[in-house]
Amino acid sequence: MDGLFRLRDFVVRHTYVNGARLHKLDKKIEDRERPMKTDALERLRKIYKPPVFSCDRTNVIGEAKYNLQIIIPMYNVQRYVIACLDSIFSQNTKYTYKVIVVDDGSTDSATALITDKYKDKNISILKQRNKGTAAARNIGFAEIEADYVMFVDADDILKPGAIETLLSAAYEHNACIVEGGYENFSRGVPISLVHNEGEVEEPCGLFWGFAWAKVFKAELLSDVCFPDGYYYEDTIVSYILYPKCSKAYAVRDVVYRYRRNPRGFSRIRGNDVKLLDSFWVFYYVLKVMGERGVKISQGIYESILRSMVNCCKRLLFMNDEIRKEVLNAFAEILSTDFKGFKCEESDLAIFEKTVRNNDYYKFKRILVCMRE
């Protein structure tokens, strides 16, 4: 599918590397190949010991009472959740759907508000102590009573016609996943990113790597869960769910409004070691891919490189010790698991070469390009 935004995650998530400066840097600085230090993973574990990782779970796929099951994790978003739910319950569609809101230990009055306001709607509200987005989502699809599942964040909004558009394409094309465009907004002029309409042969690298703005066929979620206790849990979407997908389809319509939070986790805690979740969830998901026998294509390989870039962006403000160990770990991963691959995309190829050479001097210069 020509025209898909292969670098759109970099742009929208502010992980874009200034291409012109990157190529000037590559020409200016001589490549240096450094030997890899062994046991980088163990040294990273001493800096931050990650939670026990699992994305394997058996979910109950029951009788399909609805066309769609919508799962909304909610934590202290009282000022936004009404707009979110209004956008869902105002959908003009012939399809049936059930909404499951999971209150992740909120301390505000959101649950009471929505219980009263939507008492006549097809909504279930589940409560748990605060465990994070992954655990909240997992409760929402532990039992599935629909043909398809959709994830919506409680501070975001569904565009009018979203359900009709996504499900019509899903049923017409018998697709495992259908993804639409989305609008990135907070302040200023919203930015819309869209696909060309059509079937997608390999969603990994072409579809976005987050759980929203799409519908999943229920069977696709039968044996997975989001990793509890981790940030960046959406990593499983690209590397566990997409490879299981036998048929994916993209619609051109903008179906989702994503509210960009200027005080998001990475911005307000830029030197917190918890940001290393970005590395660990990526590392463990690669292991699960191997255990599940996922065949690594060129598209998946280049998507893995982009995930490495995303991880580096999140570690921009970490100290040199941590960033050196992450680079060591990435170099070891590429040299052992992806020895025969070579990137075909020019910007990514510079990053790939830097990692394979374990060249921390050039790596630091790339991080500078990411800031600008």
Q: What pLDDT digit, counting tens, does each position of 313-348 carry?
A: 888 888 999 999 999 999 999 999 999 999 988 878
Same domain, 286 and 342: yes
At position 76, the amino acid (one-letter code) is N
* Confidence band of 21 (pLDDT split at 50, 70, 90): low
In a domain, 362, yes or no: yes
Nearest Cα to 151, choosing from 247, 221, 229? 221
In a domain, 1, yes or no: no
Listed residues 259, 285, 315: the one ending a domain: 259
Report whether pLDDT(268) > 50.
Answer: no
How buried is 128 (Cβ within 10 angstroms: 0-12 exposed, 13-18 middle, 19+ buried)? middle
Q: What pLDDT digit, counting tens, does each position of 95-151 carry?
A: 999 999 999 999 999 999 999 999 999 999 999 999 999 999 999 999 999 999 999
Same domain, 141 and 241: yes
Same domain, 110 and 222: yes
Joined together, the tokens standing for residue 138 give 């997992």
Same domain, 211 and 76: yes
* Confidence band of 70 (pLDDT split at 50, 70, 90): very high
User: Percentage of residues in the chain with pLDDT exceeding 90?
Assistant: 76
Average pLDDT over residues 54-62: 97
Domain that holds residue 29: 8-52+270-371
In a domain, 34, yes or no: yes
User: What pLDDT is attached to residue 5?
Assistant: 38
Same domain, 189 and 333: no
At position 33, the amino acid (one-letter code) is E
Nearest Cα to 198, choosing from 2, 12, 16? 2
Q: Is 355 helix (H, G, I), strand (E, B) or coil?
A: helix
Rounded to whole angstroms, the Cα distance separating 307 from 56 reads 21
Compute the Cα dihedral for 239, 359, 340, 332 and give only its sign: negative
Same domain, 126 and 31: no
Same domain, 73 and 216: yes
In a domain, 3, yes or no: no
User: What pLDDT is attached to residue 170?
Assistant: 98
- Report how far apart, in Å, the C-alpha atoms of 272 and of each of 230, 268, 315, 320 are: 14, 9, 9, 14
Report whether pLDDT(171) > 80.
Answer: yes
User: What pLDDT is attached to residue 9?
Assistant: 42
CATH number at residue 236: 3.90.550.10
In a domain, 223, yes or no: yes
Joined together, the tokens standing for residue 355 give 């990692």
* Residue 185, H or E segment: strand 177-185
Same domain, 206 and 332: no
Mean pLDDT of the chain: 89
Nearest Cα to 335, choosing from 352, 347, 321, 323? 352
3-7, 220-224, 329-333: least confidently modelled range:
3-7
Joined together, the tokens standing for residue 123 give 């909504």
Nearest Cα to 102, choosing from 142, 64, 65? 142
Helices (H), 235-359: 235-236, 242-244, 265-268, 277-291, 298-314, 320-337, 346-356
Same domain, 183 and 227: yes
How buried is 315 (Cβ within 10 angstroms: 0-12 exposed, 13-18 middle, 19+ buried)? buried
Selected residue with higher pLDDT from 113 and 366? 113
Average pLDDT over residues 155-166: 97
In a domain, 113, yes or no: yes
In a domain, 294, yes or no: yes
* Confidence band of 22 (pLDDT split at 50, 70, 90): low
In a domain, 264, yes or no: no
Same domain, 65 and 40: no
Selected residue with higher pLDDT from 354 and 19? 354
Listed residues 259, 291, 321: the one ending a domain: 259
Same domain, 93 and 228: yes
**Measured CA angle at 140 (ends 139, 144), to 5 deg:** 115
* Confidence band of 19 (pLDDT split at 50, 70, 90): low
Rounded to whole angstroms, the Cα distance separating 125 from 312 reads 37
Selected residue with higher pLDDT from 281 and 35? 281
166: alpha, beta or left? (left if phi > 0; alpha if psi -120 to 50): alpha
User: What pLDDT is attached to residue 188?
Assistant: 66
User: What pLDDT is attached to residue 210?
Assistant: 94
Report whether pLDDT(10) > 60.
Answer: no
User: What pLDDT is attached to residue 270?
Assistant: 65
* Residue 48, H or E segment: none
Selected residue with higher pLDDT from 344 and 17? 344
10-24, 70-84, 216-230: least confidently modelled range:
10-24
Rounded to whole angstroms, the Cα distance separating 92 from 89 reads 9
Task: Say which residue the tokens 């997409």 belong to.
Answer: 242
Give how many domains the chain has, as a whole number. Answer: 2
- Determine contact, residues 230/131, Cβ cutoff 8 Å: no
Same domain, 251 and 317: no
Report whether pLDDT(209) > 90.
Answer: yes
Listed residues 259, 291, 307: the one ending a domain: 259
* Confidence band of 260 (pLDDT split at 50, 70, 90): confident
